[in-house]
Amino acid sequence: MNVTRGDRRPRPLWVVWRLIAHRPWLFAAHLLFITAAAYAMPLVPGLIVRGLLDRLGGVSTTGLSSTTLLWLFAALVGVEVASRFLGPLIVMTMRQHAEVLQRRNLLERVRGHLFSRASGNFQTLDGVIVVRDQPQDMGPVQRSTAARFESALIGGVTATRTAAVGVEATDAEPSSISFFQSNDLASVDDVDQSAGKLAAVLALLGAEGSFGVKGSADQLLPDLLAPHRK
């Protein structure tokens, strides 16, 4: 197998830099939280308590009054309580953005192997239309592998709560509607007709169910969606 330039693994520092550049403010907040949690939080309370005890003993090592030291200690307690809530949120958000960026980079690197045609840059999804067309000459093992991959791919789409619909034409054989239904996708079995195109649009707008003219369909068209009121 020939190794091209595009197949080389990215260097770790390059990956780290991409993560930083993706959300610099989030990385800065994450770094600040780690620094404060690892160094400032354990050290500052001890310094304040020592200064307070010295002040009560008649020795002023900080030049601050007892009242000021008590206010500083109270403020520090408030910061620590807030960090217990904000810290995990910052870390979780940073991790989610890192996972999104890693998945996007992975998809960019393997898109030529996964898709027969692809264009543009992968960004946030507004909607997904799934068209399933398996080659007839696949063996049982290949069909099983393809089915697992398709289910995992659709599961990833539905997990993001992105609007998605599976479509096929009226003459599609074998039908994929049962596959769409088993993966919790809205489906349209007559996308080659005007009613099917309309049903696909309404499904991308949030309609749920199976629509079309085949026996697996719940109805021809989705019910009209009520407009969102501001």
Structure-token pair, residue 218: 């719940």
Whether the ω angle into residue 174 lies within 30 degrees of 0, i.e. cis, is: yes
In a structure prediction context, what are the per-residue pLDDT tens digits for the chain, which is 230 residues long? 333 444 455 576 776 777 677 677 777 776 777 666 666 666 777 777 777 777 777 776 667 777 877 787 787 777 777 767 776 776 777 777 777 666 666 667 777 776 777 777 666 678 889 998 877 788 888 888 888 888 888 888 877 788 899 999 999 888 999 989 988 889 999 999 999 999 999 999 888 899 999 998 999 998 875 555 44
pTM score of the predicted model = 0.52
Instruction: Tell me the residue length of the chain.
Output: 230
Contacts by 207-216, CB closer than 8 A, 24 or more apart: 210/177, 210/180, 210/181, 210/186, 211/186, 211/187, 212/170, 212/177, 212/187, 212/188, 213/170, 213/189, 214/170, 214/175, 214/177, 214/189, 214/190, 216/175, 216/177, 216/178, 216/181, 216/187, 216/189
How far is residue 84's CA from residue 78's CA, in Å, rounded to a whole number?
10
Q: Please name every residue paired with 94 in a beta bridge, in sequence order, or none if there are none.
A: none
How far is residue 159's CA from residue 155's CA, in Å, rounded to a whole number?
6
